[in-house]
Each structure stands twice: as C-alpha cells, then as structure tokens.
Amino acid sequence: MGLPVLTGVPKGEATALVEQNNAGIVFEPENTESLVAAINQLIADPAKRNALRENCRSAAKQYDRRQLALDMLHALEQVMQSTK
C-alpha cells in the first residue's frame, strides 16, 4: 500500500482503476522495453513517483474490503428504514 502500481495487462478493470486514480503507470503487456521505460520514469521523476504513491494510498482506502462492507451495510440499513 502506498507504492505506485506498474501494470502490464490488457485494458480492463485493473488498468482503469490505475488510470482513473492516477495511481501508477500502465505499460504495454509483454513488452519489456515498455516496463523498463515505466520503471525509469519513476526513478527519474521523484515528484511523479511521490504523487503516484499518494494517489495509490488514497485509492486503496476506497477499495478497502472492510470499508466497502460497511458502505453496503449502511445502504441496506437505509433501504430498510425507508420501507418502514
């Protein structure tokens, strides 16, 4: 938690989460040069690395299983209250 994500998978939910939260770098799947370029970006740009780190940390809170379960419970309680 709190580390920039480097992901080299086909476009989908995982890449969308990384891109939407600006939590890391998506690189071309199975492309070693693309991975090396992503790593070099993080090495060369400490400000970017730190921003991605903070964004990753913030995003992780949104997807915490406990928090998601509590949010669902709260929504269900509201539905139950509105049906009384």
Q: What is the pLDDT of residues 44-79, one digit of tens each?
A: 999 999 999 999 999 888 888 998 899 999 999 999
> Would you kindly state where each structural domain of the chain is located, as residue ranges?
5-82
pLDDT digits (tens, 9 = 90+) for 13-38: 999 999 999 999 999 999 999 999 99
DSSP 3-state of 33: helix
DSSP state of 27: -
What length does the chain have?
A: 84
Q: CA-to-CA distance for 69 and 80, rounded, in angstroms?
A: 16
By the 8 A CB rule, do 56 and 23 touch? yes
